[in-house]
Each structure stands twice: as structure tokens, then as C-alpha cells.
Amino acid sequence: MEWVMERLIDLVRRSNRDQFEFDLREFAESPQVAIYKSSESGHFSWHSDIGGGPASKRRKLTLVLQLSDAEAYEGGNLEIMPGAQILSASRAQGGVSIFPSFTLHQVTPVKSGTRHSMTVWAHGPAFR
């Protein structure tokens, strides 16, 4: 798992350097693997990744790695709302989406099959 995390952390650092320029200092939380099935747990309504516990208050960037083949499920789209427009993330297996953790996002209901993804957060001082 270490080599996977090294590659993901490198992606976050390059994305931050090229697009965001946030003050990032650590990856203080373990990656989270999410499993979405065609049931009540098959979606995640609009939310941001900031809030809750102490570590989540310091989240700066969110990375979502698509683990499932796009053909393995129907529905289950990661949607990101950086402004007034809703953007759909790539469904390609191995695809990565990186966005500020304060950005609203959701996973639409899975209609059939199972969607797997992994989320990693980069942390830094609280936004001011």
C-alpha cells in the first residue's frame, strides 16, 4: 500500500502547486475506502469534507481515486460543485479527482452493481 500512497501524495502535491497553492503540511488521516451498492448506502448526499473531528477541520484538499471499472456499476457518479455548475468526475478506473475539501460534492445513487473508491485528505492550518 505504501507505493500507492506515495503516488497519490505526489499527485496531491503537484496539483496543489499547479492549481491551489494551499499551505499543506501532512496527510494526518488514513485513506478511506468507500463501497457504494444499490441500497440505502449506495450514495452520499451533498457535503463538504471539512468539519466533524479535529483532523477533518484541517483538511485542505480531497483526492478521490476511482477503484471500480466504470462498467461494474450504474449510477454512482461523483459530482463536484465548485461554483454554480455541477461537474461529473471521471468514471475511469484509476482516475483521480482532486478538489478543495470545502467544495460541495456527492455520489449519486448506485442503481446496480458496486462502486469502490478511495479518499485521501491533505491537511494544513485552518483556512482563515
Q: Which domains does the chain have, with CATH numbers?
A: 2-123 (2.60.120.620)
User: What's the pLDDT tens digit per position in 86-107?
Assistant: 999 999 999 999 999 999 999 9
Mean pLDDT of the chain: 93
Q: By the 8 A CB rule, do 118 and 67 touch?
A: yes
**Percent share of the chain, pLDDT over 90:** 83
What is the reported pLDDT for 40?
Answer: 67
Of the candidates 71, 70, 75, 49, the one whose C-alpha atom is nearest the C-alpha of residue 61 is: 49
- For the chain, the straight-line distance linking the first and the last C-alpha, in angstroms and rounded, comes to 34
